[in-house]
Structure formats: C-alpha cells, structure tokens
Structure 1
Amino acid sequence: MAPIIGINSETVTNVTSTDFPGHWPGEDNSWSLSSFRNTFNINIHHNEPLDSSFSLVAIEAVYVHNNTSVIQDEVLCQRLGLVPFRGGKEGIQEFLKWHPRKKDDGMNTVVEEEEEENTKFDYNTIILSLKIACTRNKEAEKGERDPLKAYHNAHVYARDIQFKPFGRQEQYFSGEDAIGPTNPDILVAKLRPGQCIDVDMHAFKGVGSDHAKFSPVATASYRLLPTITIMKPILGKDAEKFARCFPQGVIGFEKVSKKEAQRKGSGYEGHEGENKAVVLDPMKDTVSRECLRHEEFEGKVKLGRVRDHFIFSVESVGQWESDALFLESVKVLKMKCEALKQNLQTMNR
C-alpha cells in the first residue's frame, strides 16, 4: 500500500498502516535497524538562527531594593524572569555548572537562604542589575505629549539590564560573548518622572523540564509532507483560479508546448501557448482543501500526505541557533533512551 494519506473534500483515507509484523501471512514487516539506516535521511530546507525544533540561563532570583513603578514587585520579578538571555557558547556549555536549588517546603526559610548564598559561585550564578529612573526632558518642546520625548527612561527595556561579571566569568563572557538579552527591545516596564526601579538579579543554568523559562524553543511542531497530483489539465483562467486556492508558491504556470498540443488524448489539443497549472512546491501547502470546493476542478486534482515524510519546524527564542537546537535535542533523546535501556535491564534482574 502506498504511503500516501488521501485528502478528500470531506474525508481522509488510507490513514491506517499495515506495515507491521504479522499483518500479511508470509510477509515480514518487522523493524530493521539496517533498513532504517538505509532509508532514513534528514534534509535541512532552511537554516536560520531563529527558525530551524537544553540547557539555558534564566533569571531565577530577583532582589528588589526599590520599585516605585506602577508594576507590583511580584509582577516585575515575573517579567524579568521570562526575559531570555544568551552568552558565549563555551561559557554556557563548559564553564557554567548546574546550581543546586532546594525545594521550598515553607520551613527554615532563613537558614536555607543563607545556605544558598554560600553555594553561589562564578561557575553557577550570573549576576545582573537593573537600576533606572525616569526624569523630565528639559529640552522637550512645551506641551509634548509623547512620553518618549517628554521624559528620559519612560520605557524600560531588556537592554537596560546590566551584566556584572565576577570571578572568572569575564574570561568567558566578554565582548560579543557577554551575557545579554536575546532581544534588547523587550519592554519590561513604563515609568514616569519620580519613578524608579532598582533590582539585582541572579540567573542560573537550568533545563526546560524544570521550568519553561529555561527552554530555548518557542514553538515546535511537525506535519506530513503534502502531495498535489494534477490528474487532468487545468488551463487558462481555471489555472489562475486553481493557483489562488493554494498559498503563494505552491502552484505555478507553464506554457503548453507544441508537442503537448499535438499529442492526442493529452487534453492539451488546441491549447498551444496557453498557461497550464503545475505544482512547484507542495511543501508550502497547508492542505486547506479549497480546490476541492470548486466543480471545475472535480476529478482534476488529488490531494494527499506522505505518511513517512515528516516536516519539523522549530522556532528558537534566540539563545541557540536552529542547527544547534536540533543536535542538542538528539543528545537529550539519546540520553533518555539510554536511561530506559538501563531501567529495562534492572527490571530483568
């Protein structure tokens, strides 16, 4: 059975798979590692820093010395904790270590805080500072209503957060490798004259399974490769309408050649030089089935999805480039498989 899922106007066909052991008498469909190696391949269609699917640095502790803005302390701390940061790869991967944190059980809070302070070193804690105040702009025109022109520091952005290296951190995080926000234009707060924010922050290295703020992935998804098969010629104005049924770039046009127009039974007889619809890039299709709604295309097009061709899409928050994210995710998957393998061996004992 062909590995194509049929996409009809109201139904989906060929969704069940029969390629597994014991389904057909005398036919072996057991999974084979060697066969998988021969058929499996990965194609990188585009590789951009922010769009290609881990450990990271995120603000964990915020010490508020002064906050006279309209944002409550706890809300400000939450906003600061969600600002994504990046730094030199060598420093983040090799130098920074995991920071041990104890679970809060509501008891011995003072003692635990003192113990945590004694466990913060240059290899597990990043110190950041945000000290900013809003003042009036004396050079602004009289009656100016734009706060960005009337005041200084009316808006507080992620770029206002300062990195304060200590110990050996300057060796790994300096120049272009310094710790800083992935997007400097993230709005943190709005201030007016007389208001200020004075906070110190401690950022630690963590993983996404501990908290979403440590994850470098914004959105990760996958879909099956769409297939579009033109069964009969679609010409002229119908071809233009057919192209509008799909996202831009999926369907294109070609001129009907003289050879095609002379071939009997081709459907192009007498249409030499006219535009015909052709499939350019089915990967851009969203399988909306729009073309199946129109009578003029009935029996002329067949939609489907390849059941064993997966298209993954991963959006990076900015700390990791897309290719590095993929390789790191493979490492994590291998670690989980090894852990499962060891647990299975333990169960047998």
Structure 2
Amino acid sequence: MAPLVPSQEELQRRRIIGINAETVTNIPSTDFPGHWPGESHGWAVDEFQKVCAQTFFRAITCAIEQILTICIEQNFQVEFHRNDQFEASFSLIGLDASVANAFRRILMAEIPTIAIEDVFIHNNTSVIQDEVLAQRLGLIPLKGSVEGINWMQWFKKATEEGGEEDGPCDFNTIVLHLDVECYKNEHAAKDEQDPRKLYTNAHVYAKDLLFTPVGRQEQYFVGDNVIAPVNPDILIAKLRPGQAIQMELHCQKGIGADHAKFSPVATASYRLLPDIKIERPILGDDAKKFAKCFPKGVIGLESVTSAEAAKRGSGYEGHAGEQKAVVKDAFSDTVSRECLRHDEFKDKVKLGRVRDHFIFNVESTGQFDSDVLFLEAVKVLKLKCNRWKRGLTDLMA
C-alpha cells in the first residue's frame, strides 16, 4: 500500500508546540518511522544519497550566497526585523532546532576576535591590585580592521607535552600601551569639588589605551580601522596625585570557547514564533479583558461586520457593531499564558509556538557589525562541514 500523504492542515498542526495552562505538548520531533500510521518516514540509503548529492554536499562546497539559494529552494527563509550596527533581529524559518542551535553556539564561542591576553605592568600605584586591573583590561571589547583580524594568525602557546611557544610577532600580537599619571590641576578653582576638574587624569578611561602598530600591521590597521576600544568611555581606574599606571598590553586572537572576553556577542539567543488561535468569538468587555492579557499590540479590537453577523455558525450572529478580539501581532507575544488563568477564555483560545520558526536576537560587542556576525557563523559552519567531509572521505577510502 502506498504511503499516506498528510494534508497541509495536518502538517501545520504538527509544526505547532502546544502551550497549555500548566503543560507544554507536541514537543518531540515526529519524523521517524512508525510514529504516523500509513506514512513513510523511514531512512533509506538511496534517498539519503540523493538528498545529500543535491543539497548538502552542494551547500558545503559553494559560496555563502549559493548556500542561501539552496536553502530557499528547500523552503528555508531568512527575514530581518531589525538591523542596527550593534543589534540585529532576524528569523530563520524552516530549520531544524539542531541547526539553529549550532548557529547560536558558533556565534557565542567560535568566531575569532582579538582581546588583551598578556599584561606587562611596569608601574601601578593605583588602589586597584595588579590582577584585578589586568582582568578589567582583558574584558574591554576592541575593534579594528576585520580584514586585519582575519590576516592575523593564532598565537601558539607552550603545551604540557613540551611544545615551544611562539614569540610575539606582527602577525600574532597587537601591542597597546597605557601610560597615565595623575597630578593636580593648577588652574582649578579653589572651591572646586569635582575630582575630574581638580586633578588631571583623575579617571583612566579605555580611550587612554594607545595602539602601537608594528611591521605589516601598518597596512591593515590604519585610519578608522586602527585597534581601539569599542566604547572609549569605559572606566578603567581612578587616580589621585602621585599615582600612575604604566603597562604594555599584548592582544591576541582567540575564540569564546577559550574565554568569554573573545566572544563577539554580548547576547545571542533565539525564541520560537508564538502562535495564537482564537477558536471562538471573544466580544465586548471580554475582548478588552482578553487584550490586556497580552503585551500591547498583540491583540486588537475590531467591529463585527454585518457580513460576519449574517453568517450562520460564525458565532457573531446578532452582534453586528460590537467589538471582537483579533490577533494583530503574534510576533510580539511573550507566551505568558495569562489568558488561560481566566475561565471565560479557556475554550476560546489556543496558544502555541511554531517549532521551525526561530527568532534570533544578536547583540554585537562591536568588533563585527551585528548582521555580519551571522554570515561569519555560516563561514565557520561551512568549514566544519568541509572538515567532516574530508574525514568521511578518508574513512571510506
């Protein structure tokens, strides 16, 4: 007997994760053999090879633009909702949760950036201990030429097996200097109380870090692309007359999996698209109360039309002109389940989430623009796939 073909309505129902008053339903994936009677979800070598030949292996060996083209052919979509320099929001539609989570983890832990790794303190007479000051400096996000950062190589450190450590070179180390001394401002008013006016260099900021290019770094980190703190007003320390800080800082290339200071994102998260279905009419005062159960703008109020009131079985008979509740913007919902607390709404609304619609929010620390980060994550995943392909080829050779 030929496998049954489910209707579009049934397929849409399977996409929705049910949000009930105290439980969540329809969570697991169901695309495996035997779950749906009469349907074939079995794994076959021929079918797997066909799909891989047409999509997967094409995707991992072509450019990013071609990857997106292939994904679109497979009902994959990307929708941007917000695209600012430091924050972006976009939707990935038609993906499995494992792929979406792979992008999230890559964004946080596997995109290379630069940060202060070694601090050589020549003089520190401030009240902040050396190790605390070094920690504060390491967490300052830096920016510079992306081309230059990609040109830089990894700094090879000594291993327990006895491997030798690389020395600082122009291609693996960026040097910053911090040389600040506090002294009294002779021109300050006698009754001045603000230490920033009473003293010179009373506050040490990130903008006091000076970049010193060496070798080929002068070709990449020039003009607006020099190595500098993303936010120049980050407070490093407070000084008083007679106190000084003199140190040399070595920046190296790293990834967030090694230390959080190398992570290019402040946050990288996703949520599933909320799904709100009004099963039965909600009218009048109940409609206003229903709207208050959701964030502003999610539920709207509209008047019942004469056509709706005249239609048998619509639930609007005899209610022409009254206000009814309608779903305006499910995207902004937080799925709070507040409406399910009220008995009058329990049988009238059904809450859910679309299992293959992932709404990403990415906040860049400044080294990359927020929308570039996702493309960088695609590059990293592509490299992983290429390594996996080579390993598979060696395994089968």
> Cα distance 1:149–1:125, how it changes in 2: closer, same or farther (>3 A)?
same
What CA deviation, in whole Å up to 9, does each residue of 1:283-304 have, x standing for no partner?
2212111111122322121100
Q: 2:363 aligns with which of 315, 325, 330?
A: 315
> Cα distance 1:141–1:233, how it changes in 2: closer, same or farther (>3 A)?
farther
Q: How many equivalent residue pairs?
A: 340
- The residue aligned with 2:75 is 39
- The residue aligned with 1:84 is 141
Tell me, what secondary structure is at the counterpart of 1:120?
Answer: coil
After TM superposition, list the pairs within 5 Å mapping 1:149-160 onto structure 2.
149-160=197-208
Using the TM superposition, give the Cα deviation of residue 348 of structure 1 relative to its aligned residue in structure 2, in angstroms: 5.0
Using the TM superposition, give the Cα deviation of residue 264 of structure 1 relative to its aligned residue in structure 2, in angstroms: 4.2
What CA deviation, in whole Å up to 9, does each residue of 1:34-93 have, x standing for no partner?
697522222222222222352111111111111111111111111111111111222222
After TM superposition, list the pairs within 5 Å mapping 1:65-214 onto structure 2.
65-93=122-150, 95-103=151-159, 116=166, 119-214=167-262
In structure 2, C-alpha distance between the alignment counterparts of 1:280 and 1:234, rounded to whole Å: 14
Calculate percent identity across the aligned residue pairs.
59
Amino acid corresponding to residue 334 of structure 1 in structure 2: K
In structure 2, C-alpha distance between the alignment counterparts of 1:142 and 1:273, rounded to whole Å: 74
Amino acid corresponding to residue 58 of structure 1 in structure 2: A
> Cα distance 1:207–1:265, how it changes in 2: closer, same or farther (>3 A)?
same
- The residue aligned with 2:387 is 339
> Cα distance 1:157–1:234, how it changes in 2: closer, same or farther (>3 A)?
farther
Using the TM superposition, give the Cα deviation of residue 8 of structure 1 relative to its aligned residue in structure 2, in angstroms: 0.6
In structure 1, C-alpha distance between the alignment counterparts of 2:222 and 2:342, rounded to whole Å: 61
Amino acid corresponding to residue 15 of structure 1 in structure 2: I
Q: 5+ residue gaps in structure 2?
A: 1-9, 56-70, 89-106
Tell me, what secondary structure is at the counterpart of 2:171?
Answer: coil
Looking at secondary structure, tell me which structure has more helix per residue. Answer: 2
Q: 2:19 aligns with which of 7, 16, 40?
A: 7
Tell me, what secondary structure is at the counterpart of 1:46?
Answer: strand
State the superposition RMSD in angstroms. 2.7
- The residue aligned with 2:84 is 48
> Cα distance 1:184–1:254, how it changes in 2: closer, same or farther (>3 A)?
farther
- The residue aligned with 1:62 is 119
> Cα distance 1:137–1:231, how it changes in 2: closer, same or farther (>3 A)?
farther
Tell me, what secondary structure is at the counterpart of 1:102?
Answer: coil
Tell me, what secondary structure is at the counterpart of 2:132?
Answer: helix
Using the TM superposition, give the Cα deviation of residue 24 of structure 1 relative to its aligned residue in structure 2, in angstroms: 4.1
Using the TM superposition, give the Cα deviation of residue 150 of structure 1 relative to its aligned residue in structure 2, in angstroms: 3.1
Tell me, what secondary structure is at the counterpart of 2:354?
Answer: strand
Using the TM superposition, give the Cα deviation of residue 124 of structure 1 relative to its aligned residue in structure 2, in angstroms: 2.1
Using the TM superposition, give the Cα deviation of residue 346 of structure 1 relative to its aligned residue in structure 2, in angstroms: 4.3
In structure 2, C-alpha distance between the alignment counterparts of 1:135 and 1:272, rounded to whole Å: 79
> Cα distance 1:269–1:151, how it changes in 2: closer, same or farther (>3 A)?
farther
Q: Is 1:287 aligned to 2:335, yes or no?
A: yes
What CA deviation, in whole Å up to 9, does each residue of 1:173-206 have, x standing for no partner?
1221111111222221122222221111111122
Using the TM superposition, give the Cα deviation of residue 211 of structure 1 relative to its aligned residue in structure 2, in angstroms: 2.4
Q: 5+ residue gaps in structure 1?
A: none
Q: Single out whichever of 235-244 and 199-208 deviates more from structure 2.
A: 235-244
Superposition TM-score, scaled by structure 1 size: 0.87
Using the TM superposition, give the Cα deviation of residue 263 of structure 1 relative to its aligned residue in structure 2, in angstroms: 3.5
Tell me, what secondary structure is at the counterpart of 2:87?
Answer: coil
Using the TM superposition, give the Cα deviation of residue 156 of structure 1 relative to its aligned residue in structure 2, in angstroms: 1.6
Tell me, what secondary structure is at the counterpart of 2:301?
Answer: strand
Q: Single out whichever of 219-228 and 149-158 deviates more from structure 2.
A: 149-158
- The residue aligned with 1:267 is 315
Tell me, what secondary structure is at the counterpart of 2:80?
Answer: coil
Q: Is 1:21 aligned to 2:77, yes or no?
A: no
> Cα distance 1:236–1:137, how it changes in 2: closer, same or farther (>3 A)?
farther
Tell me, what secondary structure is at the counterpart of 1:45?
Answer: strand
Superposition TM-score, scaled by structure 2 size: 0.77
Q: Single out whichever of 257-266 and 288-297 deviates more from structure 2.
A: 257-266
In structure 2, C-alpha distance between the alignment counterparts of 1:221 and 1:149, rounded to whole Å: 43
Using the TM superposition, give the Cα deviation of residue 270 of structure 1 relative to its aligned residue in structure 2, in angstroms: 4.6
